[in-house]
Chain A
Amino acid sequence: MLPIISVEHLYKQYRLGTINHGMLRKDLQSWWARARGKEDPNVRIAGSMADKTRRPAASNDRFWALDDVSFDVEQGEVLGIIGQNGAGKSTLLKILSKVTTPTRGEIRLKGRVASLLEVGTGFHPELTGRENVFLNGAILGMTKTEVRRKFDEIVSFAELERFIDTPVKRYSSGMYVRLAFAVAAHLEPEILLVDEVLAVGDSQFQRKCLGKMGEIGKEGRTVLLVSHNMAAIRRLSAKTLLLENGKLAGFGDAQSIVAAYLDKTTEDPTSQDGLPPGFIYRMDRVKPETDYAITAIQLLDRQGRPLTDLGTWDYVCFRIFYSAAKVLKRGSVVLQIQTQEAVPLILASTEPDSMVPLPIGIGDSYADCIFPRFPISEGQYLVGAGLAIPLVEHVIWNNSLCQLSVSQRDVFKTGLPPSSKRYLVATDLEWRLPPK
């Protein structure tokens, strides 16, 4: 039986920096010089010292985003793809979705491929939800008849029956994402590529998406899922592929590959991914792409010093840094802690949970969420954070922003410290017995 996707010795090379002169004049100059048999004036410039910094020599400004990657995917499999940022995950999906071509190697596949590289591709704000469903469906490769047949299902999946004839510019970001995901989820391609969509929408909708993806897998369709959410990878995919600097670093059973990956990335708990002390998350980019962003999260102790080792019942302050490009008159900061399996343990918000009104102005700011006794057992958890309009919607939300490790503390002085292997929540409690 042939596998549905067969990737053989796939290479993808990118060049760094300027690819050519970028100017017609210079290219013509070079060409004219060569045509007369003279030395190319631009090559000579490139050889001089001054230009070397600007345009490095051709040999070292190339890198392999994918370096000899081979694997097979069987029909109906949900394959997780994990790896650090820049490991080549997205490049792999881009080649599979034909957005770019490989430098060497070959991929053979059966059936239609649909990609969810980023939801809402081609959505036009002026068009209504209905019009965008048809447009987006066509962009993703559906015919009009197919979209029409699926239309009601898409709309009810997105829970947008009432707003389907409203221009999507009036949608909230959550509604927007729901509609976009709904279109893509109803594509019925033989192969579905998914990249990080799970980080959007509220948690209820995320659960629905996960369910839908499991369903897609059961229907005999093949899903390739790129995610940083290890819980989702573990739950959804049977097999997982680990990429490291463009090379295949592991391929096989999801549980063991994810475990190996987590071991590798959390080897050094004090300086996760080269973060400054106390930080458990910091945004890669200097300037966020969205109007609102959670830019960093730092743990502080009672004295306001960075906390590098958080244990059960420790005093801890989660300092949540955010940036806003637009004013939010009545906003709130939300912090969530959940298990690796995406079971929420703590959900705290300035409002409505704590009734702390928070006007969000343009620029950078932060909010502190203080736990006098952090009530969680030893183990690995996921931290989510976002900004919201209380009781209305999230303006930015990621339920798996970063990992949080909680250390062992023998808080009950029993020699049996609270551990996630036995239970997750460590509360201060008291037993009383009936009087004798």
Chain B
Amino acid sequence: MACQLASYFMTSTNQEYTTIIKPVSGWFDFHLAELWRYRDLILLFVRRDFVAVYKQTILGPVWFFIQPIFTTIIFTIIFGRVAKIPTDQLPGPLFYLSGIVAWNYFAACLNKTSDTFVGNAGIFGKVYFPRLVVPIAVVINALIAFGIQLLLLVSLMFYYSFQGMGFTPSRMVLLLPLLILQMAVLGLGCGIVVSSLTTKYRDLIQLVGFGVQLWMYATPIFYPISILSPRWQRLLSLNPMAPIIETFRNALLGAGMIHSTTILVSIAVTLVVFFIGLLLFSRIEKSFMDTV
């Protein structure tokens, strides 16, 4: 018995070292496998953020509706009635709301992940877990709001089809999940680039809010791509969000231009941004506790 015990301890202590802590080295150390081990934490963070935000508000999830409804009303008045910008033969509110809902998701991903390091310095300073857990949880959490707003859009679609307004979702609707994934990856990519840079350059955070605002104007939210001249259309195709919005509209409402080249460019840009984000993020996560 004693002998058995002794041999048990021998084997258990003679194992190889499982962890080696060394100075920072290498750029390509993403340890994504570790991220998978922490998947429970991702889900718990999603839950925490959801519960925490809506437990104390009176209107609760109603907030999810208020913002897109009011923005749609204002867009309808300003861009539809006053500026008379065409909306690809779609009813104005439907056109605007579809753009707003998709854009909101992307903007939420970007905005909320951009302060990952600075906003979580307290917890990051005490416990180790893969830092990427936090922005990933944020992106998933934003999906909840997006889902609810999508329901709003679908109910508006039903309303208009009962009114006899003609629009037909295209087969692209099957690609919707991929489209959402691309928005999430792009938003996450931009967000972690910004969050990595803000650990060094605090003034960058000022840029995010209004940068996102400007980016929105460069995206066909309240105007269709079809009204632009070919030259401007080419320029706009550099914006990875432009084909996403157009495809999103095409999928649900059957209006909007789809070019396979612009879509491919958009996917390529998304992947590049995301990769740069990963690169910076994994580099910064090891050293930022000493710089914050």
Contacts and interface: CB of A to CB of B under 8 A. Distances in A.
Interface of A: 1-2, 4, 6, 14-15, 19-20, 22-25, 27, 75, 94-111, 113, 115, 117-118, 121-122, 124, 126-127, 131, 134-135, 138-141, 143-144, 167, 220
A126 B287 CA distance: 31
B10 interface: yes
B21 A102 contact: yes
17 contacts: A1-B10, A2-B13, A2-B17, A4-B13, A14-B290, A24-B204, A94-B289, A98-B21, A100-B287, A102-B22, A106-B22, A107-B19, A110-B15, A115-B127, A138-B44, A141-B38, A143-B40
A101 to B, nearest CB: 5
Contacts of B40: 138, 143-144
Interface string B11-24: 01111111111111
Nearest to B286: A101
Return the 5 tightest CB-CB contacts between A and B, nearest first: A98-B128, A138-B41, A108-B17, A107-B21, A24-B201
B48 interface: yes
Interface in B108-148: 123-129
Contact of A22 (B37, B201, B286): B201
B52 A19 contact: no
A141 B15 CA distance: 21
Nearest to B288: A100
Contacts, number: 124
Nearest to B197: A24
A122 B127 contact: yes
A107 B52 CA distance: 38
A100 B22 CA distance: 10
Given A4-B13, A127-B52, A135-B44, A100 B289 contact: yes
A7 to B, nearest CB: 9
Contact of B203 (A25, A102, A140): A25
A139 B134 CA distance: 11
A134 B291 CA distance: 31
Given A126-B51, A126-B55, A101 B24 contact: yes
B234 interface: no
A140 B129 CA distance: 8
A98 to B, nearest CB: 4
B123 A139 contact: yes
Contacts of A22: 200-203
Given A27-B201, A140-B127, 9 more contacts: A2-B13, A99-B125, A100-B287, A108-B17, A108-B19, A108-B21, A122-B127, A135-B48, A138-B38
